[in-house]
């Protein structure tokens, strides 16, 4: 049975079409991987499913009910929980209190006492029982990610929207988190997982949907999607490089190098994480390198791609380049190399 149906959803920010007529369905109890290059519209689609944005066109149906345009708290009450791309726990509150909040405002409308019990169970199932009384601000990145997941799961969701939960984790933490996702699925929770770590998303997903420029460009099993030239081209950007990549995949000969020419790297059509795409689709566990862009004063945000974020190898993120959104061209430039929060964005990604 289809638990969530996204039907022709379009979201605009002024002249920019962030999601462009996207349609797909998610089967109950499945894990759906939602992938696409930076700025493809993945987070915006989550924001639309859970009611942060009202779509300009289209319909979202959850368990047979039209939830288009409902407010986030109304969507949460119906059983849709969200783990955000940028985790922002209530730093001064204990981990237990953070997760209790999720249980209080979730599907079951629990009393504080019952919510606390659920929160304790969630903390312990995510290996955070020892940290229950610690202020959330004291946790490290991996623990904050688990806390975010615990808070979402404490809402007892039927559908979990997990946005880049694996970003910033080391290979061992990624493996542990994938185990967690499998357990979540065993409990019957449906998951939509946005992820850039291809080996991870291909490993746990039953099906994969690929967005590019807000449009769905592919959908299928992980194997189908990995071999789809449109998907490879969306990541690599150049049909010739994509063809070489495909040949290499078939022969397993030495890997083609990502584009290096400065002129190509600086053109709008190629200004994105192509090297990451190439390596990501190679699905090599343990090959992750990070690009830590400075995104806000005093704050670093890691962009955990499967490879570096610059066509010239390790280098600073182009996302720090100040350009205003408004056209597809500037969209490419602002959101290219890593998924940093946008300047002027009012909502939480
Ligand atoms: N509130 C907003 N105002 C203006 N533009 C926005 C807003 N939110 C998103 N965008 C733009 O919409 C496009 C899609 O952004 P979105 O965050 O959904 O991409 P994404 O696929 O999640 O990317 P990433 O993988 O980098 O997280 C981008 O060009 C982004 O700059
Ligand atoms: Mg995003």
Q: Estimate the crossing angle of helix 112-125 against helix 141-154, to 10 degrees.
A: 140
Q: How far does the centroid of ligand 1 lie from the alpha carbon of residue 282, in Å? A: 26
pTM, full prediction: 0.75
The per-residue pLDDT for 11 is 97
pLDDT, averaged across the chain: 76
pLDDT class for 233, splitting at 50, 70, 90? confident
Average pLDDT on 175-200 reads 93
Is residue 347 in contact with ligand 1, taking CB distance under 6 Å? yes
CA distances 230 to 17, 67, 217, 219, 246, Å, are 20, 31, 7, 11, 11
* pLDDT over 60 (residue 22): yes
Is residue 277 in contact with ligand 1, taking CB distance under 6 Å? no
Is residue 345 in contact with ligand 1, taking CB distance under 6 Å? yes
Mutation test residue for ligand 1: of 301, 342, 349, the one with most atoms within 8 Å of CB: 342
Residue 240: CB atoms within 10 Å: 11
Residue 245: CB atoms within 10 Å: 23
How far is Cα 159 from Cα 7, in angstroms, rounded to an integer?
Answer: 17
Note the helical H segments in 78-132: 95-104, 112-125
pLDDT class for 234, splitting at 50, 70, 90? confident
The per-residue pLDDT for 130 is 96
Nearest CA residue ID for atom 5, ligand 1: 13
Range of weakest confidence among 128-137, 212-221, 266-275: 266-275
Q: How far does the centroid of ligand 2 lie from the alpha carbon of residue 64, in Å? A: 27
Backbone phi, then psi, for 288, in 5-degree steps? -75, 135
The per-residue pLDDT for 265 is 32
Is residue 241 in contact with ligand 1, taking CB distance under 6 Å? no
Q: How far does the centroid of ligand 1 lie from the alpha carbon of residue 44, in Å? A: 6
Range of weakest confidence among 28-32, 211-215, 274-278, 298-302: 298-302
Name the residue among 276, 345, 346, 284 with its Cα closest to residue 317: 276
pLDDT: which is higher, 302 or 179: 179
* pLDDT over 80 (residue 338): no
Nearest CA residue ID for atom 12, ligand 1: 18
The per-residue pLDDT for 315 is 29
Residue 283: CB atoms within 10 Å: 17
Average pLDDT on 93-111 reads 93
pLDDT class for 333, splitting at 50, 70, 90? very low
DSSP-derived letter for residue 45 is H
Per-residue pLDDT tens for 242-286? 666 656 655 654 443 443 333 333 333 333 343 333 334 433 233
Percent of the chain with pLDDT over 70: 68
The per-residue pLDDT for 229 is 86
Q: How far does the centroid of ligand 1 lie from the alpha carbon of residue 40, in Å? A: 7
Average pLDDT on 168-173 reads 88
**Ligand 1 atom closest to residue 40's alpha carbon, by position in its atom list:** 21
Q: How far does the centroid of ligand 1 lie from the alpha carbon of residue 325, in Å? A: 9
Range of weakest confidence among 123-137, 168-182, 221-235, 263-277: 263-277
């Amino acid at each position: 049975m289809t638990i969530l149906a996204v039907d022709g959803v379009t979201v605009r920010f002024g002249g920019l079409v962030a999601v462009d007529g996207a349609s797909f369905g998610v089967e109950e109890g499945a894990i759906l991987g939602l992938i696409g290059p930076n700025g493809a519209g993945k987070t915006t689609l989550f924001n639309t499913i859970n009611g942060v944005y009202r779509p300009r066109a289209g319909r979202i149906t959850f368990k047979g009910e039209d939830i288009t345009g409902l407010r986030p708290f109304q969507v949460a009450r119906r059983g849709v929980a969200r783990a955000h791309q940028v985790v922002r726990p209530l730093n001064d509150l204990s981990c237990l209190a953070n997760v209790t909040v999720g249980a209080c405002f979730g599907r079951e409308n629990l009393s504080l006492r019952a919510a606390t019990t659920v929160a304790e169970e969630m903390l312990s199932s995510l290996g955070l029982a020892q940290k229950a009384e610690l202020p959330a601000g004291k946790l490290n990145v991996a623990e904050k990610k688990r806390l975010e997941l615990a808070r979402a799961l404490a809402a007892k969701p039927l559908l979990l929207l997990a946005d880049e939960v694996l970003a910033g984790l080391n290979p061992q933490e990624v493996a542990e988190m994938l185990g967690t996702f499998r357990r979540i699925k065993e409990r019957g929770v449906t998951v939509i997982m946005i992820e850039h770590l291809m080996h991870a998303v291909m490993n746990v997903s039953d099906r994969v949907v690929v967005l590019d420029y807000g449009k769905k460009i592919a959908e299928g099993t992980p194997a189908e999607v990995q071999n789809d030239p449109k998907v490879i081209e969306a990541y690599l950007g150049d049909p010739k490089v994509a063809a070489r990549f495909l040949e290499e995949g078939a022969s397993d000969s030495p890997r083609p190098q990502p584009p290096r020419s400065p002129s190509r790297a600086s053109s709008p059509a190629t200004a994105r994480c192509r090297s990451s795409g190439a390596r990501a689709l190679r699905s090599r566990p343990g090959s992750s390198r990070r690009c830590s862009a400075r995104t806000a004063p005093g704050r670093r945000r890691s962009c955990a791609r499967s490879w570096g974020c610059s066509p010239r190898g390790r280098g600073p993120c182009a996302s720090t380049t100040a350009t205003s959104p408004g056209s597809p061209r500037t969209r490419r430039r602002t959101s290219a190399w890593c998924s940093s929060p946008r300047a002027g964005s009012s909502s939480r990604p």
